[in-house]
Amino acid sequence: RAELPTYTMQQVSEHDNLINGIWVSYKEGVYNITDFVRKHPGGQSKIMMAAGGSIDPFWMIFANHQTDEILVLLESMRIGNLRSEDVYKHKDEDIYDPYALEPVRNQMLHINGKKPFCAEPPPPMLVKNFITPKEVFYVRNHLPVPYIDEENYELELAAEEKTMKTFNIEDIKKYPQHTITSAIMCGGNRRSEMGAEKPLKGLSWNVGAIGNASWTGAKLSDVLRDLGVKEEDYNHIQFEGMDIDPSGVPYGASIPISKALDPRADVLLAYKMNGEDIPLDHGYPLRVIVPGVVGARNVKWVNRIILSKNESPSQFQQNDYKGFSPSINWDNVDFKTAPAIQEMPVTSAICCPQKDEKITVAKDGTIPVKGYAWSGGGKKIIRVDVTADQGETWHIAELVAQDPDAKEGRHYAWTLWSLNLPVDKMKKSVEIWVKAVDSQYNTQPESFKNIWNLRGFLCNAYHKVKVNLG
């Protein structure tokens, strides 16, 4: 290899596109992989992550590349040697950081946690579209995003310990295709408001840990019927994700078997979000959608489904995502005493204006107010009430967007609402309150004080936003 020219890392980095050509370095070698990127078995986008740089750190994680065959292939593309001081030196964090290869995320998301990645959009972005674009959809990961090997992806369906069947994506796509619009909301959405009442433990979400998307996939009930699964034989159905913790335990959750088998519950094994492959952060290549149920049960990257007498043993089912009395604290909490959260209570939020915003009062004495409302279990939002005077007068918002295709009892999408809210012009500031009412006439509690719980779940008190009038 001595006859080949020597390059600097700077020169390699100039070759990160198709015009200049695509180069990478590996150990002491420099390679021109321009023609190969198209043919990369793991997909062009994956290999392009290393374009113009060193592939060493990537191969530490995707250790499946370190075979003789691949090394010979790489050597066939060698064009030079890397200047010795530029050769990649492994840092400990490369070896141990399973987050080094997370997908690129939209800059405008507000990050609540980097590793695992948790982020939400600014509230005004939420109400711009009835269907939340993927770039705007909040992300809640509990673990590193798993590495997906598309070609070898398999979903296993088991009855307790015993495998009944394995499926690849094509097998799932053979079932009748269903598309539903469903919001997914984190059990901790609006936690920051509950935390302001009294300190608690959990990510400090504002109102953005919710998104409304269309989901396409096979009905879980069709798949289970096909296998002759009977409701009497089991109590729960467990889902496992491909994201695993350092001890090898995957993310997991479960729902009652009755829900999984009910075709009207619309539980999906979804492979599309908003008509496209589900983005990596949202569960590619397959995700369970349990409409009307807390986000935590909508398991992403699902590769194992287990019919069982028991709920998922996962800590996210057993010791998290549960609600408690305001008097229960970290010294006396016994997680076994509360059921896992499933269907969510009715909630609503004001997205425009935002807290402390300065608003010009219109000639007619009103200010424009917009937000969303949603209830769990397929219950429809029937009314949204808004006040600017602590409830002396309530104004009924217009429900500007609801799912036109939703059938009775299957309203899984959110409702967007808006109104021009009359305010007292003489005041320097007003506090806007909102509450929603669902089709069972459930409504929201007025304050967080008496629904406070130590982990900050089910934060559905009136949303109150103080704004300045100008």
Residue 374 backbone class (left: φ over 0; alpha: ψ -120 to 50; beta: rest)? beta
Determine whether 438 is exposed, middle or buried from the number of CB atoms within 10 Å of its CB (0-12, 13-18, 19+).
Answer: buried
Catalytic (active site) residue 40: yes
8-state DSSP, 19: T
Q: To the nearest whole angstrom, how small is the minimum distance from the Cβ of residue 444 to ligand MTE?
A: 20
> How many residues sit close enough to ligand MTE to count as binding (CB under 6 A)?
20
Q: Give yes or no for residue 190 binding ligand MTE (CB under 6 A).
A: no
8-state DSSP, 101: T
What Å distances lie between residue 440 and 192, 341, 408, CA to CA? 28, 19, 12
Q: To the nearest whole angstrom, how small is the minimum distance from the Cβ of residue 127 to ligand MTE?
A: 17
Q: Give yes or no for residue 340 binding ligand MTE (CB under 6 A).
A: no
φ, ψ of residue 173 to 5 degrees: the values are -70, -15
Strands (E), 118-209: 118-120, 139-140, 155-159, 162-167, 177-185
8-state DSSP, 343: B
Q: Give yes or no for residue 456 binding ligand MTE (CB under 6 A).
A: no
| Alpha-helical runs (H) found in 121-190 | 123-126, 169-173
Active-site choice (15, 31, 88, 140): 140
Active-site choice (88, 118, 138, 186): 186
Selection from 244, 59, 55 nearest residue 145 by Cα: 244
Q: To the nearest whole angstrom, how small is the minimum distance from the Cβ of residue 141 to ligand MTE?
A: 5
Active-site choice (284, 321, 412, 462): 321
Catalytic (active site) residue 352: no
Q: Give yes or no for residue 137 binding ligand MTE (CB under 6 A).
A: yes
Q: Give yes or no for residue 380 binding ligand MTE (CB under 6 A).
A: no
Catalytic (active site) residue 186: yes
Query: Where do contacts with Mo ion occur on this chain (CB under 5 A)?
Result: 140, 186, 295-296
Q: Give yes or no for residue 219 binding ligand MTE (CB under 6 A).
A: no
Q: Give yes or no for residue 117 binding ligand MTE (CB under 6 A).
A: no
Q: Give yes or no for residue 184 binding ligand MTE (CB under 6 A).
A: yes
Piece in contact with ligand MTE (CB under 6 A), picked from 89-97, 159-167, 295-303, 401-409:
295-303
Q: Give yes or no for residue 145 binding ligand MTE (CB under 6 A).
A: no
Q: To the nearest whole angstrom, how small is the minimum distance from the Cβ of residue 117 to ligand MTE?
A: 9
Q: Output 15 or 287, the one with its CB closest to ligand MTE.
A: 287
8-state DSSP, 235: S
Distance CA 102, CA 172 (A): 26
Q: Give yes or no for residue 140 binding ligand MTE (CB under 6 A).
A: yes
- Return the structure tokens found at 465: 């936003």
Q: Give yes or no for residue 57 binding ligand MTE (CB under 6 A).
A: no
User: 297 near 260, Cβ under 8 Å?
Assistant: no
Give the Cα-Cα-Cα angle 58, 287, 105 (nearest 5 degrees).
45
Q: To the nearest whole angstrom, how small is the minimum distance from the Cβ of residue 346 to ligand MTE?
A: 18
Distance CA 339, CA 458 (A): 13
Catalytic (active site) residue 282: no
Q: To the nearest whole angstrom, how small is the minimum distance from the Cβ of residue 49 to Mo ion?
A: 28
Query: Residue 385 binds what, of ligand MTE, Mo ion, none (CB under 5 to 8 Å, by partner type)?
Result: none
Strands 110-113 and 155-159: unpaired
Residue 433: enclosing H or E segment and its boundaries? Answer: strand 429-438
Piece in contact with ligand MTE (CB under 6 A), picked from 54-62, 87-95, 291-299, 345-353:
291-299
Q: Give yes or no for residue 301 binding ligand MTE (CB under 6 A).
A: yes
Q: To the nearest whole angstrom, how small is the minimum distance from the Cβ of residue 76 to ligand MTE?
A: 39
Catalytic (active site) residue 463: no
Side by side, the strands of the sheet bearing 6-7 are: 6-7, 78-82, 29-32, 21-26, 16-17
Q: Give yes or no for residue 139 binding ligand MTE (CB under 6 A).
A: yes
Query: Residue 139 binds what, of Mo ion, ligand MTE, none (CB under 5 to 8 Å, by partner type)?
Result: ligand MTE
- Return the structure tokens found at 2: 């001595």
| 367 beta partners | 421
Footprint on this chain of ligand MTE (rule: CB under 6 A):
137-143, 184, 186, 241, 243, 251, 281-282, 295-296, 298-301
Catalytic residue positions? 40, 65, 140, 186, 321
